[in-house]
Amino acid sequence: MTKTIHTLTPTAISSAYSLIKPYIHTTPLLTNTTLNNLASTPQSIDALQGTEYEGQTPATPKIRFFFKCENYQRVGAFKARGAFHALLRLIEEVGEEEVRGRGVVTHSSGNHAQALALAAQTLHIPAYIVMPSISTSSKIAGTKGYGAEVIFSGSTSTEREAVVAEVQAKTNAILIPPYDHFDIICGQGTTGLELHSQYAALVAEKPELSVHGSQTGELDAVITPVGGGGLNAGVATFYADKSTKVFGAEPSFEGGDDCRRGLVAGERVTSVKTLTVADGLRTPVGVLNWEVISDANKVAGVYAVTEAQIKAAMRLVLERMKVVVEPSAVVGLAVCLFNEDFRRRVEKEAPQGWDVGVVFSGGNTTVEAIGKLFA
């Protein structure tokens, strides 16, 4: 099969799932009444000060959450799906002997780094991982713990890619990019496949969990974080033939909302320099990913939230759900709770409300990092 945007289909996601299922966890789908109630309560008048909605009545959407907990995935993030899929397909295509002889290389701030290191260790392939020197210590330790050789770089994607080129020149290793890659996108899209079937089963058993109060086949919406865009593009690809709307969420800090800004401008933003607390979302959206996300038939919109809103959402998940997440994981929840544009959209499009699937993308943080964040 020639891998192009036209072959990025729900069928391709299903095929990826069949291949990686023996290697990944089926992660849980959780609900939480407290967060449902918070999302369905108008924001305070103060929260709208300084925004275009200052002085207006806050929106009152009705939202029921279904949290897909990829923080419980192997390596603590959804990235294990894409890494296993890309490496298994590579072995199929060029042969195990060649892949083993050359090894694989990638660059990542942490979650894809650990994921490819695990996949390579599992399949007995040498791995070279380029990581920013400011990566979370637990992510560096995790990557080394899976037997990969870690090479440090600067924090921007340009600096990271330059070091990858040096590694390839020395080793002839095969590049498996962190997000801008057909097989990575298909692997990440299996998150949506699981979410879809788990939601249907849960609501069939407990219809009262749905905002519709009865058995319903599909979520009204799914929201995922957007960094490089592999997860969002993959999930949007899976849902392309369904009624569920897919949304993206980004940090606004220092221009971290490159995808949202690109959609407004009508062209992809090619570089990002942000030190947002959502460290997994510091990269620009990939070229292939942009083709999916910029298609309004596949992704219905991308919304941004502030650092304070990300931290507030993370605190709620830690304290109310007792679930350990990293800041990147909660940007989607933060949009639902605090982004007035999104909240008004739900209120306008669905007076009866929406069942919203929120992907918690990962949980790779440390007690020290959490302490520092909330000090």
Mean pLDDT along residues 31-41: 97
Exposed / middle / buried, residue 44 (Cβ in 10 Å: 0-12, 13-18, 19+): exposed
Mean pLDDT along residues 120-136: 94
Q: What stretch of H or E contains 224?
A: strand 221-225
- The proportion of the chain whose per-residue pLDDT surpasses 90, expressed as a percent, equals 86
Report the relative pairing of strands 354-360 and 221-225 from DSSP bridges: parallel
Give the integer Cα–Cα distance in Å for 280 and 224: 12
Q: What is the pTM (predicted TM-score) of this model?
A: 0.94
Give the integer Cα–Cα distance in Å for 21 and 352: 36
Mean pLDDT along residues 119-144: 92
Sheet holding 221-225, edge to edge: 29-30, 63-69, 354-360, 221-225, 245-251, 301-305
The encoded tokens of residue 182 equal 């057909």
* Closest among 336, 66, 37, 61 to 201, alpha carbons compared: 66
pLDDT at 2 over 70: no
pLDDT band at 312 (very low <50, low <70, confident <90, very high): very high
Cβ neighbours, 10 Å, residue 130 = 23
Give the integer Cα–Cα distance in Å for 88 and 82: 10
Mean pLDDT along residues 37-58: 92
* pLDDT per position as a tens digit, 146-204: 999 999 999 877 888 999 999 999 999 999 998 889 999 999 999 999 999 999 999 99
pLDDT value for 135: 86
Instruction: Tell me the helices (H) and strands (E) count for the chain, helix number first.
Output: 15, 10
Cβ neighbours, 10 Å, residue 348 = 10
More confident residue, 52 or 334: 334
Give the integer Cα–Cα distance in Å for 68 and 124: 30
Which residues are catalytic, by number?
79, 109
pLDDT at 1 over 70: no
More confident residue, 217 or 9: 9
DSSP assignments along 300-322, one per residue: -EEEEE-HHHHHHHHHHIIIII-
pLDDT at 302 over 80: yes
* pLDDT per position as a tens digit, 63-83: 999 999 999 999 999 999 999
* pLDDT per position as a tens digit, 81-103: 999 999 999 999 999 999 999 99
* Closest among 15, 25, 228 to 118, alpha carbons compared: 25
pLDDT at 368 over 70: yes
Cβ neighbours, 10 Å, residue 12 = 20
Query: Structurally, what CATH architecture does the domain formed by 10-76+181-374 represent?
Result: 3-Layer(aba) Sandwich (3.40)
pLDDT at 31 over 90: yes
pLDDT value for 215: 67
Mean pLDDT along residues 43-63: 92
Counting Cα atoms < 13 Å in the Cβ hemisphere of 212 gives 15
Cβ neighbours, 10 Å, residue 234 = 32
DSSP assignments along 101-145, one per residue: HH-EEEE-SSHHHHHHHHHHHHTT--EEEEEETTS-HHHHHHHHH
pLDDT band at 311 (very low <50, low <70, confident <90, very high): very high
Give the integer Cα–Cα distance in Å for 3 and 1: 6
More confident residue, 160 or 299: 299
* pLDDT per position as a tens digit, 246-287: 999 999 999 999 999 999 999 999 989 899 999 889 889 999
The encoded tokens of residue 298 equal 């596949």
DSSP assignments along 49-99, one per residue: TTSTTTTSPPP---EEEEEEEGGGSGGGBTHHHHHHHHHHHHHHHH-HHHH
Report the relative pairing of strands 63-69 and 354-360 from DSSP bridges: parallel
Mean pLDDT along residues 289-305: 97
Average pLDDT in the chain = 94
Q: What are phi and psi of 68, to 5 degrees?
A: -90, 110
pLDDT value for 192: 98
pLDDT band at 234 (very low <50, low <70, confident <90, very high): very high
pLDDT band at 111 (very low <50, low <70, confident <90, very high): confident
Topology classification of domain 79-175:
Rossmann fold (3.40.50)
The answer to whether the 10-76+181-374 and 79-175 domains have the same CATH topology is yes
The domain segmentation of the chain, as residue ranges, is 10-76+181-374, 79-175
Report the relative pairing of strands 63-69 and 104-107 from DSSP bridges: unpaired
- ∠ at Cα 240 (79, 257), nearest 5°? 55
